[in-house]
C-alpha cells in the first residue's frame, strides 16, 4: 500500500525528534506563515491597484502565497498525523494545492506580459496531462508493479510538472526584467534572484535529494529550509 512515509526520508523531516527535526519543523512553519501572510497582504494590495495588469499580478502572488503556504502545512501534517493512514491523502492534497499556486503565478505573470495569450498556461497543462497519461499507461501495462515503483512514477509526475512550472515562471520573470526600467527593473531583478534561491530550496527539499545518504543531515534539515525562507523573503519584499 502506498500509505506510509518513504523509507529513504530522514526521520527528522518535519518531526521534532532532535535538534535537526526541531529546526526543520519550525523553519517550515515560519515559511508557511510567511507565505500565507504575504499572500493575504498581496490580496489587500490588489484591491488598491488601478492598473488591471498590476492587480492581476498581486492576485496571482496572493493565490501563490496562500496555496503554497497551505501545501507546506499539509506536508507537515502528513508526517505527523498517523502517516500509516493519512500520508497518501495529505500528500495528494499538498501537491495539488501547491500546483494551483504555481499555476496562479504563471497566469498572473503571463497576463502582465501578454494581454490575450495563454501560451505558458497551455504549455504547463499539456505537460502535466502528457506526464499523467504516460504514467497511467505505464502502470496499466506493467504487471506486478510494486508500491515503491508506483511511488517513483508519481514522484516523477510531480517533479516534472513542478519543474516545468518553475522554469516557465523564471522565464516570464526574465522577460519582465527585459521590459522594465529603473526601480521597477531593479526590484524585478531582486525578485528573480529570490525566486531562484527559493526554487533551489524547494528542489533540495525533494525526496530525491533527501534520500542521498552522504549529504550531512544538518544540510538537509537545517540549511535547506533557511535558504528557502531567505529566497521567498527576497522575492516577496521586492513585490511590495
Who contacts 147 (Cβ-Cβ below 8 Å, separation ≥6)?
1, 2
Greater confidence, 219 or 122? 219
- What does the pLDDT read at residue 56? 86
Q: Does the residue 99 lie in any domain?
A: yes
Count other C-beta atoms under 10 Å from residue 158's C-beta.
20
* pLDDT(3) > 50: no
Low-confidence winner among 74-78, 148-152, 200-204, 233-237 (lowest mean pLDDT): 148-152
Q: Which domain holds residue 97?
A: 19-209+218-237
Report the percentage of the chain scoring pLDDT > 90. 33
Q: Which residue has the higher pLDDT, 173 or 191?
A: 191
- Classify residue 197: in a domain, yes or no: yes
Count of structural domains, the chain: 1
Q: Is residue 6 part of a domain?
A: no
Query: What does the radius of gyration of the chain's CA atoms come to, in whole angstroms?
Result: 19
Rounded mean pLDDT, 148-176: 69
User: Does position 52 have pLDDT exceeding 50, yes or no?
Assistant: yes
| Average pLDDT value for residue range 208-235 | 92
Question: Residue 2 domain-assigned?
Answer: no
Q: Dump pLDDT digits (tens) for 196-217.
A: 999 899 888 887 788 888 889 9
Residue 196 lies in a domain: yes
What's CA 35's distance to the chain center, in Å? 11
Q: Does residue 28 form part of some domain?
A: yes
User: Which of these ranges, 75-84, 98-107, 113-122, has the smallest mean pLDDT?
Assistant: 113-122
Question: Is residue 11 in some structural domain?
Answer: no
* Buried b or exposed e, range 129-141, using 16+ CB within 10 angstroms: eebeeebeeeeee
Q: Which residue has the higher pLDDT, 41 or 161?
A: 41
Q: Is the pLDDT of residue 114 over 70?
A: no
pTM: 0.83
Amino acid at each position: 500500500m502506498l500509505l506510509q512515509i518513504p523509507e529513504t526520508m530522514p526521520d527528522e523531516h518535519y518531526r521534532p525528534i532532535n535538534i535537526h527535526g526541531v529546526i526543520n519543523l519550525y523553519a517550515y512553519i515560519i515559511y508557511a506563515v510567511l507565505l500565507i501572510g504575504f499572500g493575504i497582504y498581496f490580496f489587500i494590495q490588489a484591491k488598491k491597484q488601478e492598473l488591471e495588469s498590476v492587480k492581476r499580478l498581486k492576485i496571482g502572488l496572493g493565490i501563490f502565497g496562500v496555496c503554497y503556504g497551505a501545501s507546506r502545512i499539509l506536508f507537515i501534517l502528513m508526517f505527523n498525523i498517523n502517516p500509516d493512514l493519512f500520508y497518501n491523502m495529505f500528500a495528494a492534497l499538498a501537491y495539488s494545492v501547491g500546483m494551483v499556486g504555481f499555476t496562479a503565478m504563471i497566469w498572473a505573470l503571463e497576463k502582465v506580459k501578454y494581454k490575450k495569450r495563454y501560451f505558458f498556461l497551455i504549455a504547463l497543462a499539456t505537460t502535466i496531462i502528457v506526464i499523467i497519461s504516460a504514467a497511467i499507461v505505464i502502470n496499466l501495462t506493467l504487471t506486478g508493479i510494486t508500491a515503491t515503483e508506483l511511488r517513483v512514477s508519481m514522484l516523477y509526475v510531480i517533479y516534472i510538472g513542478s519543474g516545468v512550472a518553475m522554469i516557465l515562471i523564471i522565464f516570464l520573470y526574465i522577460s519582465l526584467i527585459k521590459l522594465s526600467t529603473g526601480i521597477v527593473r531593479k526590484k524585478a531583478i531582486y525578485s528573480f534572484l529570490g525566486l531562484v534561491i527559493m526554487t533551489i530550496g524547494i528542489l533540495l527539499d525533494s525526496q530525491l535529494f533527501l534520500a542521498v545518504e552522504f549529504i550531512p543531515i544538518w544540510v538537509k534539515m537545517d540549511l535547506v529550509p533557511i535558504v528557502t525562507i531567505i529566497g521567498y523573503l527576497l522575492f516577496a519584499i521586492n513585490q511590495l
